[in-house]
Each structure stands twice: as C-alpha cells, then as structure tokens.
Amino acid sequence: MSVPLQDASPMTFNHQNLQIGWFGEPDISIQHGGDIQMLCTDEYQDIRHDILVIGAHPHADELLMALRREPATALSLIFVTSASAMSAHLANGLWQQGWYQTAEMFLQRQQLWQLEPGDNLELRLLSYLWLHPGSTLEPLKTPATAQLYDYPLLTAWGIEQSGQIGWLNALTQKGWLESQQLVNRVRYSPCCHSSRLNYLDSCPACQDINIQLQTSLHCFNCGHIASEQSFRKQTGLSCPNCYQTLRHIGVDYDRPIENQQCLHCKTLFVDAAVSAQCLECNTSHELQDLIVSNVCRYGLTLAGQLLARQGVVANLFTDYGGNQMSLSQFCWLANWQNQLAKRHQHCHSILAVKLANDEQLCGGAMQLKELEILQQRICAIVRTTDACTQYTEAGMLFLLPFTQAHSVRTLVNKFIELKQSFSVPLYFDFRSVSLPADTGLNFQSWLLDSLASAKPLGHE
C-alpha cells in the first residue's frame, strides 16, 4: 500500500517522484517527502525504491544482510530507525530529521556515477563507498569465529571471512583503498588460518612445558648453583656442596640471572621458548611462522573516487610515462629540489592545473571515446623530466626542473590548445610558484597555501 506523508523542507530533487520503501512500522513523527510504500520481508529481491527504511523489526540485522546481498539493493541508501549490531556496518545512518540532506547527496552522486560494477565485487565496493560520502569499511569483532574480525558488507557479498583481509590488501595495493585506522593486529595459524592460538612457554633445552620460576644461588667458593631453598639453613645460608657459610652477597655468593628451571631436565634458563599451539588443528608453530594481519578501517583513495565516478576513465591525468607519484612523494621531491636550488642557485617551477568543469565532462556531457582521447592528449603534454601528482579530483601539480616563471607559459599554452579539439568546452585554471623559496617546516602546507593565494595565469 502507499501512505502519503507531509512534505519535507525544500530540496533540489523532486519529492513527488521520491519512492521510500519501508520495512516494519512507519515512523510518522518525522516529516517525509514523496510516498512511503510498505514492504514485506520477502519482497527485497526486486526493489527499485530510491530510499529504504527499516523500522521496528524483530530481525533488522538479518534484513540488512539480505538487502545488501541482493544486487538490486547492494548499493541502496538504507536508513534504520534504531541502531543495532549491524546497522553501523550495513546501514547509512538513522532515520531522523535532516535525512533528506543525506538522500539528496546520494541521489546527486547517483546521477554522476559512471561505474558499472556488475558482478565485480571490487568495483561494487568502490561504488558503495563513493555513493555514500563519508562511509568507510568498518571491521566487526566476532570472538566466536576463528578469524576474530569480520567485514559484514563483504560477508553479505559472499566473500569468505578468512579471505577478506587479503582481498582488501589487494585493493590497497592497486591504490583504490587506503587504511584510515589500524584497529588491531591479529596472528593466524599458517595451517588453517585460525586465530585461536594458545601460547606456551617451554624449556629451551628439552621443549618440555613443565617449568617453574625458581630463585637460585651461586657459591663463589666451589661454584655450586642450586635453588635458594637448598642453601638456606637454620643459622643462615651455607653451600650444600662445600658447606661454606655465605654471609655477603657479591663476596661469598650471588644470584644467577637464570630464574626459571625445567622440572623435567633440571635446566636453568632466563627466557623460555615460546610457541603457539593452534586449537583448531592442534599444530604447534614458532612465533615467526605465524601469519600477522592488520585489521583496519578502510576508505577510498583519490584514485578510487575517480574510478567510481568516472567509470572506465579512472583518471583524466593518468600519466603513462611513470613519473606520477603520490602527493607526499611529490612534496618530498620538490622540497629536496628546493634545497638544491638554494645551494646551487638553480631555478624551478611548480605548476598547478585544475580542470574547472570536470563534473560536466565526466557526468555524461562528453562521450567516453572523447574522454579517452582527452586523457591521451593530457598524457602527451607531460614531459618525461617533469614530476607530477594529483592533489584534487581534477587538479594536477607539475614540478618543472630548471624552468623559470616566464617559461611556464609554454606548458600552459599546450593545455589551452586542447579546448579546440573537443565538442565540450574545457576550462582550466593555472597557478604557479617558483623555487627556491622559504617554505618553513611543512612544505606541503606552504605549497598549497602559496598556490591558493597565487595570481591565476589564466582561466581558459
């Protein structure tokens, strides 16, 4: 059935066309736009609503898992009326006043979204994180499982719990995801990949686990070493081997650093040998043989955001010459060149190029074939001697060695010439700074502040 509700505050999207699918009892205390359609739990296979809301429901977590499992609702905007164990991992927030702001941003991004993930779970994850701004992939502690941690979203998509960390590491290596927080570090058995390990102290000589702490004494007169109890007599301390009375520590006797003894072979030792026994497969392993995995909270990198938004053309500024680097690497290199320029009286320039109408180009105004040609033309402009990095979704920095400020215009003109070859106008913003310069302790902050305050070379 359809239940018309009150209009919400004015928004940029059409409330009359907004379809809200609701599971459970509706919450009429919050204003809504559009219509609410009440859904049954067996109707999630073919849902096409703009927004889904899970109200008071006895199996809310199971319903969330089912909705994320279905391809039709895997990326949907889902609200819950009350928090649950899985809502922080599978839902997109609470249904409360101001929900329409989240909905508006989601629908706007949906219009810009160019990636078609299909059955590719890697692209599906990138799409999910981009469509829901501020979302991250959070691990859930699951002590009842052998892996201890689980990513519920990946579990809903059919990725085995034992392979999730390795799968995410692969996306990190591709440069699409980044670790935003190290949550924990877990050790696994190399045999069965279980974290249910029992750590055992054993004798380093015979590997028997029957060991105990023991205070020993060393007689200087005869060299005898035994437990302190065997030295202790009614009149004080005396050696049980040579019967020498021991009065002064450091003169007559001392205490060896070996404070543990094996009750099987009687060996005295300082540090016990430690091994890990897997409680799943009953196999013992040396500590250095265990698999160490970092459990992290993940978010999209800039490259991941570009891939999710632009689809096949993941990065208009992709440089096939191999001289593109991360922003931190670029700043380190530029700072190093700045120090050399001061010492040897060299002159370098840094040029910032920003595509002002990138959303128009990647949002469908320019055909995919033209986008690919534009990408190739931009790559051809980059010289092999220029270092470059992408510092915003549509902005590129170029380090131009031994290039004075008046020579920067040559590279600027090459970008301006691009606009004559395409059906959609290209609008660039150019700014530059010169080296050497007094940059202070934080080169990156100086660079971004200097470019922001620099006079535009031209907005073409």
Question: Average of pLDDT values for 251-257?
Answer: 85
Distance, in Å, from the CA atom of 211 to the CA atom of 268, rounded to the nearest integer, reads 10
CB 304 within 8 A of CB 377: no
CB contact set of 207 (below 8 Å; sequence gap of 6+):
273
As assigned by CATH, the class of the 1-112 domain is alpha beta
CB 249 within 8 A of CB 255: yes
Question: Which residue in 393, 315, 389 sits closest to 352, CA to CA?
Answer: 389
Rounded to the nearest 10 degrees, the angle between the axes of helix 408-417 and helix 368-381 is: 160
User: Can you list the positions of beta strands (E) in 151-254?
Assistant: 177-188, 197-202, 211-213, 216-219, 225-227, 232-233, 236-238, 245-246, 253-254
Which of 55-59, 156-160, 314-318, 337-341 has the lowest average pLDDT? 314-318
Using DSSP bridges, classify how beta strands 19-23 and 35-39 pair: parallel, antiparallel or unpaired. Answer: parallel
Among 3.30.70.270, 3.40.30.10, 1.10.150.170, 3.10.150.10, name the CATH number for the domain at 315-459: 3.30.70.270
**Which H/E stretch holds residue 354?**
strand 348-355
pLDDT above 50 (res 12): no
The predicted pLDDT at position 34 comes to: 56
Q: For 268-394, where are the alpha helices, taking DSSP H only?
A: 302-310, 327-344, 358-360, 368-381
What pLDDT, in 10s, does the model give residues 363-388? Answer: 555 555 566 677 777 777 777 788 88
What pLDDT, in 10s, does the model give residues 182-238? Answer: 999 999 998 888 889 999 889 988 988 888 888 888 898 888 888 878 888 878 888
- Percent over 90 (pLDDT), the chain: 26
What is the pTM (predicted TM-score) of this model?
A: 0.60
The predicted pLDDT at position 29 comes to: 56
CB 335 within 8 A of CB 443: yes
pLDDT above 80 (res 459): no
Show me where the domains of the chain are located.
1-112, 197-286, 315-459
The CA-to-CA distance between both ends of the chain, in Å, stands at 54
CB 230 within 8 A of CB 237: no
User: Can you list the positions of beta strands (E) in 9-117?
Assistant: 19-23, 35-39, 51-54, 77-80
CB contact set of 58 (below 8 Å; sequence gap of 6+):
none
CB contact set of 159 (below 8 Å; sequence gap of 6+):
121, 151, 167
Rounded to the nearest 10 degrees, the angle between the axes of helix 121-131 and helix 99-112 is: 130
Using DSSP bridges, classify how beta strands 458-459 and 428-435 pair: parallel, antiparallel or unpaired. Answer: antiparallel
Task: Give the residue carrying structure tokens 């540090």.
Answer: 271
Which of 31-40, 59-68, 120-129, 412-421 has the lowest average pLDDT? 31-40
Bridge partners (DSSP) listed for residue 238: 245
